[in-house]
Amino acid sequence: MIQLETIAKQYSGRGQKLTAFRCEALTIEDGEYVAIVGPSGSGKTTLLSMLGGMLSPSTGRVLVDDVSLYDQSVAARSAIRGQKMGFVFQSFNLIPYLSALQNVQVPLSFAKLSAEVQQQRATELLVDLGLSERLHHRPAELSVGQQQRVALARTLVNDPQIILADEPTGNLDPTSKEVVLKIFDECHQQGRTLVVVTHDPSVAERATRRLTLVDGNLVDSDEIETSTLRPASAA
Amino acid sequence: MNLRSIIWQELKSRPSAVIFNSLTILLGVAALVAIRHVTVHSEKEVSKQLSNLGANILVLPKDATLQNYYAADQNGGSLPEEHVAEIYLAGLSGVEQVSPRLNVATQVDEHAITVTGILPQSEVEALASWQATTMFMNTTDTGCCQRTNVVSAQQLASPQALIEHRAIQELDKNAIVVGADIAAKLGCKAADRVELFGEKFTVLGILPTTGTVDDGRVFAHLHEVQRLSESGATCNAIEIVGCCEDAAGSLVPQLQELLPNAKIVTISQVVQTQVGVNQLMAKTSWIVLAVMMVVGGAGLAGAISSNVQERRREIGTLMALGATPRYIQQLFLGKALLLGLAAGAIGCLLGVSAALIVGPAWAGVSVTPLVGTSLLAVLLATFVALVAAWWPARRAAQLDPCICFREV
């Protein structure tokens, strides 16, 4: 479970304080599929960064499984991210000098798993995502859709409970976008928590809950009852 | 996948940047290693030459330099041979052995060689006896000779004595003693006949290899060399073995008074001059090192700093995936470590190779690799690289991980 308590993020500049995000209280239950929508500059990425333990709020607390993220050390937050969270980026953020297989192995290396286990898990996941012929290709040698699938494999390889996605389909063609959304649906069905920042209404529609941000304020929250997508545990 | 493999893969993906970034350190190490090798071997060579010299006082023409003496160069001028007799006649205490030398360049079978004329000790002793001097073996009268340098006639009997004692007891006018290098060039051995200045000489013996200029010389009777080279009764240097250091010290002013037109040089002066030159070289090598390392370190710091800037999103992504700040710091320090080690090792190899070529060619000293110096240079390069990368690596570790969400 993710909880935000009286959170605000302010930036200072030119003698002024700009509030990028503000929220009195927000709870995201385990297994929820949440879409965060809003125009550019509304604070979506700021919220996602704070949820991921990567941007400390100016005030308030972020709790993940009742642990206050920003009361932990930087190293402890890194460990929490490595164990519980997976990130999906709009530009995939694959490491250019590593092969697809090596990119997927990176999060496993932080978990201190042996090279054999790393290779086995990463290979299985890439094969499942239809990339068996591309294991040793570097990102520059892959299509955009393949790059996003490698990035998804990297996100999922540590079996994270929480997936945080920033415009995951922003750079994809319709076919690749559908592949990604199907994977998200599967993750949701497996009981993982998904928080997806998106501009795209069709992506937001797949979520069970939508949060709308305008000028850094969480102004609207609606819960969409979609029994087909709701995980078994939450039904 | 681990830290090492990430560092290695990143380095492999940008080989030209790797080479460029570490080039200054590499060249600095190469320069240091080359200079140190030549300096150390030069010191050893000086020490060896001085040891082989045996004499502790040299009488040289006024305009001659030590280089003229070592190189058997006659441009430094000549001395009248009668100075030998004058030294005996003066009855200076503490003189044990006097050896006049005349160097003459000539050719044998198209090989340029130096013939050194020497006076056998039997003739020197006869001269001393004729002059009725009593200075030889007069070690007790002077009260200074606790450690005598006097050698017996038996010890001077073989040609090898020229190496060990700088003198030979007997040398016929038609005999020569040949240095090891010349013997190898001419393919001659003891009892062979060799033509010098148009006359035949019998090889009395071949000297063992000494690693000094003596290897490239042919020794003949002084008077024969004077006659054949039409030099008259002259020599280029007179080597004097004093009975002890105190005697040598007091001898110098006496000799200067006796031979005002000659230059009197003691071995201690030679040592001081040569050691001074070597110390200057050693200090220069450290200055070169300091400059190269500062420039190399600054260059590497700049390169790592740029690398951090270029890889900000990658750093943020790694942090999002679970990398700790310490891991990020190690990522860049590890890269610097590898660059420093590689630059140090390659620079070391280049430096040693350069010293092996330049040492004999420019400084006239044979060079062998010095393991300690080489290892020290590699460690120093690694240390400089780590220090240079410390600040950029620390900055990378302090980056805000949410940078991974931005387009940078």
Looking at residue A166, which CATH number applies to its domain?
3.40.50.300
What average pLDDT does the segment A165-181 reach? 89
Residue B58 to residue B66: CA distance in whole angstroms = 10
H or E element that contains B391: helix B371-397
Residue B42 to residue B211: CA distance in whole angstroms = 12
Residue B89 has pLDDT above 70, yes or no: yes
Confidence of residue B68 (pLDDT cuts 50, 70, 90): low
Instruction: Give buried/exposed letters for A212-223 (b at 16+ CB in 10 A, else e).
Output: bbeebbbeeeee
Are B322 and A95 in contact (CB < 8 Å)?
A: no
Answer yes or no: is A83 within a domain.
yes
Answer yes or no: is A20 within a domain.
no
DSSP-assigned letters across all residues of A56-88: --SEEEEEETTEEGGGS-HHHHHHHHHHHEEEE
β-strand pairing of A193-198 with A33-37 = parallel
β-strand pairing of B57-61 with B262-266 = antiparallel
What average pLDDT does the segment A145-174 reach? 92
Residue B307 to residue B11: CA distance in whole angstroms = 11
At B133 the pLDDT is 45
Confidence of residue A33 (pLDDT cuts 50, 70, 90): very high
Residue B37 to residue B31: CA distance in whole angstroms = 10
Residue B205 has pLDDT above 60, yes or no: yes
Residue B148 has pLDDT above 50, yes or no: no
Instruction: Give buried/exposed letters for B382-391 (b at 16+ CB in 10 A, else e).
Output: bebbbebbbe
β-strand pairing of A2-13 with A59-64 = antiparallel
CA distance B22 to chain A (A): 20
Instruction: Kindly state the percentage of chain A with pLDDT values over 70.
Output: 93
Q: Can you read off the two tokens belonging to residue B138?
A: 């007069």
Instruction: Kindly state the percentage of chain B with pLDDT values over 70.
Output: 82
Are A97 and B404 in contact (CB < 8 Å)?
A: no
Instruction: Kindly state the percentage of chain A with pLDDT values over 90.
Output: 55
At B269 the pLDDT is 62
Strand, helix or coil at B106? strand
At B211 the pLDDT is 72
Q: Which residues from chain A sit within 8 angstroms of residue B2, using beta carbons?
A: 109, 115
Task: State the average pLDDT for chain B.
Answer: 81
Instruction: Give the domain extent around A217.
Output: 30-45+74-234
Measure the N-to-C terminal CA separation of chain B; round to a whole number of Å: 26
Number of domains in chain A: 1
Are B322 and A82 in contact (CB < 8 Å)?
A: yes
Q: Which residues from chain A sit within 8 angstroms of residue B1, using beta carbons?
A: 98, 102, 105-106, 108-109, 115, 118
A126 and B CB contact within 8 Å = no
Number of residues that make up chain B: 408
Instruction: Kindly state the percentage of chain B with pLDDT values over 90.
Output: 27
If you search the block for the tokens 């990425």, which residue do you land on? Answer: A45
- Choose among B18, B17, B7: nearest CA to B342: B18
Domain residues of chain B, as ranges?
3-48+275-405, 63-260
Of A10-24, B169-183, B244-258, the range with the lowest mean pLDDT is B244-258
Contact B267, B110 (CB under 8 A): no
What average pLDDT does the segment B190-203 reach? 89
What average pLDDT does the segment A193-209 reach? 91
Are B6 and A98 in contact (CB < 8 Å)?
A: yes
Q: How many CB atoms lie within 10 A of CB B146?
A: 9
Residue A139 has pLDDT above 90, yes or no: yes
Answer yes or no: is A19 within a domain.
no
At B46 the pLDDT is 67
Residue B166 to residue B177: CA distance in whole angstroms = 13
Chain A's closest residue to B402, CA to CA, is A54
Chain B's closest residue to A81, CA to CA, is B322
What average pLDDT does the segment B328-336 reach? 95
ipTM: 0.89
A79 and B CB contact within 8 Å = yes
Number of residues that make up chain A: 235
Q: Which of B12, B323, B401 has the CB atom closest to A110's CB atom?
A: B323
What average pLDDT does the segment A54-83 reach? 92
Q: Which residues from chain A sit within 8 angstroms of residue B8, using beta carbons?
A: none
Contact A222, A209 (CB under 8 A): yes
Contact B182, B72 (CB under 8 A): no
What average pLDDT does the segment B107-120 reach? 86
CA distance B321 to chain A (A): 5
Confidence of residue B130 (pLDDT cuts 50, 70, 90): low
The better pLDDT of the pair B239, A139 is held by: A139
Residue B48 has pLDDT above 70, yes or no: no
At A227 the pLDDT is 38
A102 and B CB contact within 8 Å = yes
A168 and B CB contact within 8 Å = no
At B311 the pLDDT is 92
Are B314 and A95 in contact (CB < 8 Å)?
A: yes
At A184 the pLDDT is 93
| Most confident residue range from A177-181, B57-61, B246-250 | A177-181
Residue B161 has pLDDT above 70, yes or no: yes
What average pLDDT does the segment B222-234 reach? 91
At B132 the pLDDT is 47
Side-chain half-sphere exposure of B62, counting CA atoms within 13 A: 6
What average pLDDT does the segment A197-212 reach? 89
Residue B326 has pLDDT above 60, yes or no: yes
Q: Which residues from chain B sit within 8 angstroms of residue A135, using beta carbons?
A: none
Chain B contacts to A (CB-CB under 8 A): 1-3, 5-6, 9-10, 12-14, 313-314, 316-327, 400-402, 404-405, 407
Confidence of residue A30 (pLDDT cuts 50, 70, 90): very high
Mutate to test the interface with B, among A49, A119, A141 (most CBs of B within 10 A): A49
Residue A4 has pLDDT above 70, yes or no: yes
Phi-psi region of B95 (alpha: psi -120 to 50; beta: other; left: phi over 0): beta
Residue B177 has pLDDT above 60, yes or no: yes
CA distance B277 to chain A (A): 52
Are B313 and A93 in contact (CB < 8 Å)?
A: yes
The better pLDDT of the pair B40, B315 is held by: B315
At B222 the pLDDT is 93
Contact A203, A181 (CB under 8 A): yes
What average pLDDT does the segment B232-256 reach? 75
Residue B399 to residue B396: CA distance in whole angstroms = 5
Residue B210 CB contacts under 8 Å (≥ 6 apart), including other chains: B48, B52, B163, B180
At B203 the pLDDT is 92
The better pLDDT of the pair B26, B132 is held by: B26
Contact B398, B332 (CB under 8 A): no
At A229 the pLDDT is 39
Chain B's closest residue to A116, CA to CA, is B1
At A112 the pLDDT is 84
Q: Which residues from chain B sit within 8 angstroms of residue A93, using beta carbons?
A: 313-314, 316-317, 320, 404
What average pLDDT does the segment B267-291 reach? 73
Residue B24 to residue B339: CA distance in whole angstroms = 11
DSSP, res B236: S
Residue A136 has pLDDT above 80, yes or no: yes
Side-chain half-sphere exposure of B158, counting CA atoms within 13 A: 9
| Most confident residue range from A143-157, A170-184, B146-160, B232-246 | A143-157
- Choose among B187, B212, B188, B215: nearest CA to B201: B188
Q: Which residue(s) pair with A3 in the sheet?
A: A27, A63
Task: State the average pLDDT for chain A.
Answer: 87
Residue B67 has pLDDT above 80, yes or no: no
Q: How many CB atoms lie within 10 A of CB A39?
A: 11
Answer yes or no: is A11 within a domain.
no
The better pLDDT of the pair B90, B398 is held by: B398
Q: Which of A89, A108, A158 has the CB atom closest to B405's CB atom?
A: A89
Measure the N-to-C terminal CA separation of chain A; round to a whole number of Å: 16
Answer yes or no: is A3 within a domain.
no
Q: Which residues from chain A sit within 8 angstroms of residue B320, using beta carbons?
A: 52, 54, 81, 85, 87, 93
Residue A122 to residue A134: CA distance in whole angstroms = 12
Chain B's closest residue to A52, CA to CA, is B320
Q: How many CB atoms lie within 10 A of CB B343?
A: 29
Per DSSP, helices labelled H in B120-266 are: 121-130, 139-142, 161-164, 180-186, 222-229, 245-258
Q: Can you read off the two tokens belonging to residue B88?
A: 């005996």
Contact B292, B25 (CB under 8 A): yes
Of A56-65, A92-101, B262-271, the range with the lowest mean pLDDT is B262-271
CA distance B342 to chain A (A): 21
| Most confident residue range from A101-105, A130-134, A177-181 | A101-105
Residue B139 has pLDDT above 80, yes or no: no
Answer yes or no: is A10 within a domain.
no
Residue B189 has pLDDT above 90, yes or no: no
Strand ranges for B132-291 from DSSP E: 175-178, 193-196, 199-206, 217-221, 234-235, 237-242, 262-266
